Amino acid sequence: MYIPKEYLKESTYSGTRLIEITDEKVIELKKEISKFKPIAEPYLKEMDRLGELLDPFYTKIRELEAEKDKLVKERQPNLDLFNAQLKEMEAIEQKTDLIKNKIQPLVARLMEKELGEFETARQLIEQGDKLFVEVVEEVEELVKRIRMKKNKK
């Protein structure tokens, strides 16, 4: 391969070279692509115009995101403290849940004697220092559901 001397001068050498593509199929496809340029031109011009209208919004968004990042950094020490408190609270809550799980079977045994044939203990309710069990009459609940279905029709 012969390379002209002027191309070998250091001032003209960019570290790259060009190789000409002469394949007919590639050239034909390139011509086909160029047919779309006139069709695309009006869209590109309109996009340029609209892009100029959108630029102020993007500038404002970048400013707001920078402000948001600043606030997030300012918030972080307090958030870390809050999360530490939350972790402690979750540990306490796990302990109380274990105790509540012990209470549930005890209350169920106590309520066996108190409940009527069509009654169900729904939930344990705390009011001040006292505990109550909410009791639901199954027959009454069934009647309510039937009435609701009829009202929907």
Domain ranges of the chain: 5-113, 114-152
State how far the Cα of 123 lies from the Cα of 107, in Å rounded to an integer: 10
Distances (CA, A) of 122 to 23, 102, 104, 115, 141: 82, 17, 11, 11, 12
Span 114-141, pLDDT tens digits:
888 888 887 888 889 888 888 888 888 8
Q: In this model, does residue 77 exceed pLDDT 70?
A: yes
Q: In this model, does residue 153 exceed pLDDT 90?
A: no
Residue 7's pLDDT band (cuts 50, 70, 90): low
Q: In this model, does residue 100 exceed pLDDT 90?
A: no
List the single range of 5-19, 34-48, 109-123 with lowest mean pLDDT.
5-19
DSSP string, 48-72: HHHHHHHHHHHHHHHHHHHHHHHHH
State how far the Cα of 25 lies from the Cα of 31, in Å rounded to an integer: 10
Q: In this model, does residue 91 exceed pLDDT 70?
A: yes
Span 11-30, pLDDT tens digits:
665 667 778 888 999 999 99
